[in-house]
Amino acid sequence: MPIPNIPPGFKVADIKTELGSTNNSLKALGGLANPPLADTFLMSDFANYTHYYSGFYRNDGVNDYAQIAGGASTNAIGSGALTISFWVRNNGSAHQNHQIVNIAPGFSSNDRLMIDYNTTNNQLRFNHRQGSSNNIRAYYMNNNSSKTGLSGNWTSTNRGTTNSNNWNMLTYVYDGKQSGLNGLTVWWNNQQLDYQVNSTSGSRSNLSMTNIRFGENIHTSGSAGNATMDFDEFKIYSRLLSSTEINSLYQAGSTNPASAAAAGVTSNLISQIRFDGGVVSDAEGHFTGTAGAYNGGQFIAY
């Protein structure tokens, strides 16, 4: 992008103001400073900074995915308290399945936490899968139309109630201390959904949250469930968020998901993946790797 003309009388000392050092934003260049600008900013510091952008991740629905391999094993899916919240924009015009997020201890087994959309039954699903056991809770979109605004299958032409740029915030609050999936609530934007199917089989114990994949099954690529979606502002909390906090996150992102951080809901935030600057990295450090997109997935600036 071209740098704007420097106005007459502009002083070197004005650069700090022009770059917006008070909010750590390289506004004049249309992006953010990484790392944030120091209070005392020197011209010589420019060499230490890279310019990156606020953006989101786009999955094509054919073979793309984004992931981080490697994460702390201490936070587990199972016996504890977790809240997983993120924004998606459904770009699939066909009636199709969407593998939205998988979190798992490995890349080759069925063991995983799986969040997906199933078009056959028009369901949002949460599955704590272990061995051959599935603990699934499913939410019919048509039975939740008063909450979702959907009147049929979830597609790019029928996105239901969204923010002003067609994004949905999905939140899964999971109290693992309760038996089965009794401790699960699912939220469409700021509306709690009613579940219609609760299928539990076999035991359910802790799964280590070591790896995460967006847009595809964690053990495959190019599946029929490859998501045709945009992703942004993925967060995991090691506690149960309240309805007030979920509403705050949604309202803060009512125009742009990237603004959801302004809600200030940060207590026990253990993972935050923002897809800024063309990388998949965790600002809170639970997932330790840094990666990009695979098979042609795109990072797009707002």
For residue 121, CA distances in Å to 55, 111, 147 come to 32, 23, 18
Q: How far is the CB of 200 from other proteins (least distance, A)?
A: 14
Answer for which of 97, 135, 163, 272 binds other proteins (CB under 8 A) is: 97
x/- binding map, residues 250-289, to other proteins, per CB under 8 A? ----------------------------------------
Q: Which residue among 129, 213, 235, 286 contacts other proteins (CB under 8 A)?
A: 129
Using CB atoms within 10 A of its CB, is residue 9 exposed (0-12), middle (13-18) or buried (19+)?
A: exposed
Pairing, β 290-291 against β 280-281: antiparallel
Q: Out of 91, 102, 135, 162, point to the residue binding other proteins (CB under 8 A).
A: 91
Using CB under 8 A, pick the residue from 54, 83, 85, 96 that binds other proteins.
96
- Note whether 95 binds other proteins by CB under 8 A: yes
- CB closer to other proteins out of 83 and 226: 226
* Listed ranges 67-75, 114-122, 138-146, 179-187: which one lies at the site for other proteins (CB under 8 A): 114-122
Instruction: Kindly state the smallest distance separating residue 181's Cβ from other proteins, in Å.
Output: 15
What is d(CA 85, CA 180) in angstroms, rounded to the nearest whole number? 21
Task: Tell me the window of 8-16, 68-76, 185-193, 293-301 that interacts with other proteins (CB under 8 A).
Answer: 293-301
Please report whether residue 296 would count as binding other proteins according to CB under 8 A.
Answer: yes
- Residue 181 CA to residue 208 CA, distance in Å, equals 18
Shortest reach from residue 106's CB to other proteins, in Å: 17
How many residues in the shown chain lie near other proteins by CB under 8 A? 28
Instruction: Tell the smallest beta-carbon distance from residue 30 to other proteins (Å).
Output: 25
Residues 217-246 that bind other proteins (CB under 8 A): 221-226, 228
- Closest approach of other proteins to the CB of residue 124, in Å: 14
| Interface with other proteins in residues 62-81 (CB under 8 A) | 62-64
Contact 290, 276 (CB under 8 A): no
Q: Does the protein bind other proteins through residue 94 (CB under 8 A)?
A: yes
Q: Could you tell me which stretch among 33-41, 55-63, 243-251, 273-281 binds other proteins (CB under 8 A)?
A: 55-63
CA pair distance 197, 189, nearest whole angstrom: 21
One of 24, 34, 133, 134 touching other proteins (CB under 8 A): 134
What's the min distance (Å) between Cβ of 226 and other proteins? 7
112-118 vs 123-130, strand pairing mode:
antiparallel
Q: Does 61 bind other proteins (CB under 8 A)?
A: yes
Q: How many CB atoms lie within 10 A of CB 209?
A: 26
Give contact residues for other proteins (rule: CB under 8 A): 60-64, 91-97, 114, 118, 120, 127, 129, 134, 221-226, 228, 294-296
